[in-house]
Chain A
């Protein structure tokens, strides 16, 4: 049953999404891609969780499953609605989903494709309101209020999206997500399509809105510096699984999984004096793709070991044979140093000395 700690608004448990792989004339299912494979985490009310990883790691799929824009293959998504009721998004149907989405909304990556160019701003922002039977005058005043909230001139209410720049469009997308006063927002790479000089505007807006409205944010990103700026907690995903999870500060300064350390090393800081790529060998090639491999139905390619082995400098026989599970460090020192909330899926997390930032 629904068990959610009092301060928790969202708990994802054993979430999976497997896409079938079809081949041949009859489109027979020959295997599946485990885009998301057994992902669990929880988010406390009013906090920001960053879901980080490279393309194809399953972060976007996870975000969409939370909102039930995609149906999970397995797992639960416990969510506390604003009326206090705790529901499992993965099990809801029809009208119940619509009810729950009053309290959870999404901000999209691409401010161009996510706004229907054929609708004026008024209709775009008011869409969730109209779907719930608001009258037109009510919508209009609420839309003006929302535009003001996200820093858009409410006089532009009748304009079409093509009259706005990328940053302004993203504000429209945010206003629309906020229309029904949700408590949880899933933001899928909301700044990565924007100009550098505009990104900060949107990041600061999100931060301000979160503080003012008490929002909980699931922030999906590949840019670690953005995540560090905005997020309290971070979960790092690799090939459909979470490989490390913890408080943002701990994770960035003292990573416990070699993949996290690799990501941190690879990101170039905008400062020529900060060392970059000290531990990464350029000649090491792209052996392991970040996308989850196809697993055939008969299970022939189901490798037992850790998925990161092909790219890991610290891999041992144990890593090749047995997949690690996500857990806190086992030694007393590591518990004291990192806290029990810092989890990593690595057999050697206690021994490795990984470089943070």
Chain B
């Protein structure tokens, strides 16, 4: 009787895995999560846009084009009306006319006027990161060209430009807010979990009370309390603090729970027996053990912040018009008529959905990768 050949030896996972630290193992796991990788790229693109919005945006955020009010999105073309292909992208001009049937304003493409698109060109002047003035743009067209990729609002401002500028505030409010949340959460959760006793009880009850308050009314009350004369930047930070004040409770609970369970883990006891100082145990054993979980929770908390800002601004109690954020932009889409006549005003909402989804998916992937030592 002959025995079948044994199954082939699988290729070795590679000896370098033996030297792989926690973060490397997590990265290897995260990488296997396809969707999360895609979402991660989406986030990178969005944040890239937020950081370099002045350069990428072809126009100025507050720049009004009086002859193009509520102009629909315009197409960048490579093929002209005659069917010929051009290497340089171009735009056709737009003519405004009154629709004879309903007397509403209407824009029609005027193929007789051609605006070529230039790359790395000069355009409206701006101050880069508040540091120096320049007028370089990634792309642009000649003065007067209807370069409105996402259309314009009722004041004739380019929505694409404004969405880019808005992402700076909407996306950073989440990060700054979560950083604050992170700080408060780890501090209070850590103190509660580490010291226990009555400190723990006070923090716990505090968390429960805050969690029991309905969010929206509290937000509204707190933002109403922000002085009306504050400059936009102060309002921005005020809103962030309000959001994080509501948001830290979940994180504090996670941290407290982790502290409680980790405190009596064998390897922590072992470190104590080895004579390692308590503070060092916290920083070399406890924190690294659940930092990945905390970062995951934080990532999953960012969308809440983004949505919070959007909701507040949408309701008109968050940021106000001269400041540009996705929520402020969506305010324009508040009435039904505007949506029917200019549906592109809803585009900022699409960006909110994209960003929130991407954060949630990335957070999900991180959660799967957070504990590379399970089984």
For A109, give the chain B residue with the smallest CB separation.
B266
Complex contact A160–B21 (CB within 8 A): yes
Docked complex Cα distance between A69 and B289 (Å): 21
Question: Contact partner of A101 among B18, B20, B266, B273, CB < 8 A?
Answer: B273
- Known: A108-B270, A114-B266, A118-B289. Contact between A158 and B19, CB under 8 A? yes
* In the assembled complex, A267 has its CB within 8 A of some CB on chain B: no
Docked complex Cα distance between A67 and B274 (Å): 11
Complex contact B20–A106 (CB within 8 A): no
Complex contact B267–A162 (CB within 8 A): no
A 88-117 to B, binary, CB cutoff 8 A, 1 in contact else 0: 000000000010011001101110011111
Stretch of A37-45, A127-135, A218-226, A244-252 that contacts chain B: A127-135
Complex contact A116–B19 (CB within 8 A): no
Per DSSP, are chain A's interface residues mostly helix, strand or loop, or mixed? loop
Residues of A within 8 A of B284 (CB): 119
Per DSSP, are chain B's interface residues mostly helix, strand or loop, or mixed? helix
Question: Contact partner of A163 among B17, B265, B267, CB < 8 A?
Answer: B17
Complex contact A69–B272 (CB within 8 A): yes
For A64, give the chain B residue with the smallest CB separation.
B269
Docked complex Cα distance between A196 and B289 (Å): 31
Q: By CB atoms of chain B within 10 A, which of A116, A132, A163 has the most?
A: A116
Docked complex Cα distance between A101 and B19 (Å): 31
Question: Contact partner of A115 among B20, B267, B276, CB < 8 A?
Answer: B267
- Known: A113-B266, A114-B266, A115-B267. Contact between A120 and B19, CB under 8 A? yes
- Known: A162-B373, A176-B270. Contact between A98 and B288, CB under 8 A? no
Complex contact B275–A128 (CB within 8 A): yes
- Known: A116-B285, A118-B289. Contact between A131 and B275, CB under 8 A? yes
Minimal beta-carbon separation of B5 from chain A (angstroms):
26
* In the assembled complex, A159 has its CB within 8 A of some CB on chain B: yes
Complex contact B20–A160 (CB within 8 A): yes
Complex contact B22–A117 (CB within 8 A): yes
Minimal beta-carbon separation of A89 from chain B (angstroms):
12
* In the assembled complex, B207 has its CB within 8 A of some CB on chain A: no
Minimal beta-carbon separation of A8 from chain B (angstroms):
23
Residues of A within 8 A of B25 (CB): 162
Minimal beta-carbon separation of A136 from chain B (angstroms):
15
Docked complex Cα distance between A299 and B266 (Å): 34
Residues of B within 8 A of A162 (CB): 18, 25, 373
Minimal beta-carbon separation of B15 from chain A (angstroms):
8
Complex contact B267–A101 (CB within 8 A): no
Question: Contact partner of B19 among A67, A105, A160, A179, CB < 8 A?
Answer: A160
Interface residues of A in 162-183 (CB under 8 A from B): 162-163, 173, 176, 179
Docked complex Cα distance between A130 and B276 (Å): 8
Interface residues of A in 119-149 (CB under 8 A from B): 119-120, 127-128, 130-132
Interface residues of B in 243-290 (CB under 8 A from A): 265-267, 269-277, 280, 284-285, 288-289
Complex contact B274–A127 (CB within 8 A): yes
Complex contact A116–B267 (CB within 8 A): yes
Complex contact A160–B18 (CB within 8 A): yes
Complex contact A69–B18 (CB within 8 A): no
Question: Contact partner of A114 among B22, B267, B275, CB < 8 A?
Answer: B267
Minimal beta-carbon separation of B110 from chain A (angstroms):
65
Question: Contact partner of A110 among B266, B272, B289, CB < 8 A?
Answer: B266
- Known: A113-B266, A120-B19, A158-B19. Contact between A131 and B285, CB under 8 A? no
Question: Contact partner of A131 among B17, B265, B277, CB < 8 A?
Answer: B277
Minimal beta-carbon separation of A167 from chain B (angstroms):
16
- Known: A69-B273, A127-B276. Contact between A116 and B17, CB under 8 A? no
A-B pairs with beta carbons under 8 Å apart, 26 shown: A69-B269, A69-B272, A69-B273, A101-B275, A108-B266, A113-B266, A113-B267, A114-B267, A115-B267, A116-B267, A117-B373, A118-B21, A118-B22, A118-B289, A127-B270, A127-B271, A131-B274, A131-B275, A131-B277, A132-B275, A158-B19, A159-B19, A160-B20, A162-B18, A173-B270, A176-B270
Residues of chain B at the chain A interface (Cβ within 8 Å): 17-22, 25, 265-267, 269-277, 280, 284-285, 288-289, 373
19 further A-B contacts with Cβ under 8 Å, apart from A102-B275, A105-B273, A106-B273, are A67-B273, A101-B275, A108-B269, A118-B21, A118-B22, A118-B288, A119-B284, A127-B276, A128-B275, A131-B274, A131-B276, A131-B277, A131-B280, A132-B275, A159-B19, A160-B21, A162-B373, A176-B274, A179-B274
